Chain A
Amino acid sequence: MKQLTFLIIFIIVATACKEVFDIPPQSRLKATLVNAVTKKDTTYVITIKPIGHDSLFYNKERSGSFILPFSPGESTSFQITFDSVIDTITFFHKTTTQYESMESGFYYEYKLKQIKSTLHKVSSIQITDSLINSTLHENIKVYIRPLSSGSN
């Protein structure tokens, strides 16, 4: 009787777990903010609006880094506000479909080809790793002009 109960419990648990699938991963770019003069990591109040998308991705958040979602196309543009100064950054990338598993599905992986940016608050952008994959890691360093440096 004890064994039968154990068997029934085992079957119920096995059946309950069998249709639980992981969601596919997502590849996102990670940027670190660096003071262009001191070359030290710094924090800013940032607002990010993807161009072509209605909602804000970041809304007045103080942070020393940010992550960005790329579109499946060949380029993705963002309007980024650093302490109320707006810059527009466009990323040109190669998009490839990657296989995670048949249970969780497919995802996109990106290879950064070029970055173009307005230089109001942004001083320069350095690519540290051009491969944007499902493991979140630093891909670019954004050098920001300090307040005293003025704007371009």
Chain B
Amino acid sequence: MKILKFTFVLCLLAVISYGQKEPHKKIKPKRTDNYIRMKGIRIGADLTRPFQDLWTKGNRYGTEFSADMELWPNLFPVFESGLDFMKLNTDYVNYKSSGSYSRIGIDYNILQAENTNDKNIFYLGMRYGFSLAKQQVNSYKIDSYWQPETGSFGNQNYGAHWAEFLIGMKGEIIKNIYMGWTLRGKILVSKKDLGMPPVFFVPGYGKATHGFNADFSYSIFYNLPWDFRKSIDRKKAAVNEAKAKTTEKQKSGGTKPANKK
């Protein structure tokens, strides 16, 4: 009986001591680079868009330009826009599509800067993309035991929306000149239902038949060395100074004794 009592007390103590154990908290070190390193707007050109033909079925060409800026520490709102063309000429179909697209989104830099001159970033980002385009099947052929039949479909205008999640990096190679790559995962949100034939290609997104597309890009950037914040601060200071002067004048005018009758 004594042994049983002893065992019970021991177990109770063990439970109490376990309960009193402090929860193991993960302490995340705070970022020490909460300052803006890249002043001004950075504009870029995608070097891979004109060469998409090398790894895409059919003939795909395009151009893309971007603009981003460090509006808040480590946060870069981004705007990207471009043109995309697709041609497909097989034994059975002659197809072409062209259109423009734009993306807006934000990048978050996860690479902590070593000093204020360290402008390299490794980032995670997201985008919302939309496109306006047209497609045309110039001719198609249906092979048959009897005799091949040919036909065509006229011009079709359409639009599409998609979301993108991306990872990438940008490094300053020489003063104000950056280069960087991105890996993108694109998820098609919606596209216009055209009937026959359906949308095959969405500029900026890729094949519309795929709900998910992956993409890679490599770009060159130039950071316009214009610190807009400084000029805003200067303007604010000038306005404040003017206001102060006006108040001072009013005050000095107000101290004059009024003639009372």
Contacts and interface: CB of A to CB of B under 8 A. Distances in A.
Contacts of B149: 72
Interface string B86-125: 0010111101000000000000000000000000000000
Contact of B143 (A24, A101, A102): A24
19 contacts: A11-B54, A15-B55, A18-B55, A18-B56, A21-B57, A21-B90, A21-B91, A24-B142, A97-B196, A99-B196, A99-B198, A102-B197, A102-B200, A102-B201, A103-B57, A105-B92, A105-B140, A106-B197, A108-B144
Nearest to B88: A102
A147 interface: no
Contacts of B58: 103
A108 B142 contact: yes
Nearest to B135: A102
B145 A23 contact: no
Report the interface size class on chain B.
Answer: 20 to 34
B34 interface: no
Contacts of A52: 146
Contacts of B55: 14-15, 18
Interface of A: 11, 14-15, 18-19, 21, 23-24, 26, 50, 52-53, 57, 69, 71-72, 97, 99, 101-108
A152 to B, nearest CB: 29
Contacts of A103: 57-58, 88, 90, 93
A50 B145 contact: yes
A53 B197 CA distance: 31
Given A104-B92, A105-B93, A72 B56 contact: no
Given A18-B55, A21-B57, A99-B198, A53 B145 contact: yes
A108 B149 CA distance: 10
B208 to A, nearest CB: 10
B93 A102 contact: yes
A44 to B, nearest CB: 22
Contacts of A108: 142, 144
Interface in B69-98: 88, 90-93, 95
